[in-house]
Amino acid sequence: MDVSVEKGLELLSLNGSDASILESREIGRIIVEGYDTRLSPGVVESALRKFYSSCGEITDVYVRRDGRNENTLWHSTFVYFVGEGAVDKALQLNGNDVGGWEASAKAFPFQPRPYDFVIVRVEGFDTSLFFFF
């Protein structure tokens, strides 16, 4: 099992009480750009872990690959933190040098309830006006 998955499961274990469940405000995520997309995923991940280590506990760094070319990285990477204020601390490092490239990060908060959806029933519309793109 991946180390970050094990860490996440460990953090979410109840340990006999509801008190140890992390509140959503303690889990944060940023999206980082500015690195050379020709670097290896391991180099980018290592650099970002080191760069943002002072901001809080990093649970995962998700370096995405370009879907059209496996040898090229996507232009942005997600960094996940645990700890209140970690994202704010990370954003204060914007513009600093990360081993030859400038970090550009934005907060990328989670949706409050991402799997909620609404079903709406609509009546009385003219179906002859409906068309597909």
DSSP type of residue 7: H
Name all domains of the chain by residue range, CATH numbers in brackets. Answer: 3-129 (3.30.70.330)
Residue 14: is its pLDDT beyond 50?
A: no
Phi, psi (degrees; rounded to nearest 5) at 125: -105, 155
* pLDDT of amino acid 22: 53
pLDDT tens-digit series, residues 89-99:
999 999 999 98
pLDDT tens digit sequence for 48-90: 999 999 999 999 999 998 888 877 899 999 999 998 899 999 9
Instruction: Tell me which of 78 and 125 has the higher pLDDT.
Output: 78
With 0-12 / 13-18 / 19 or more C-beta atoms within 10 angstroms meaning exposed / middle / buried, residue 31 is middle
Q: What is the mean pLDDT of residues 30-34?
A: 95
pLDDT for the residue numbered 16: 47
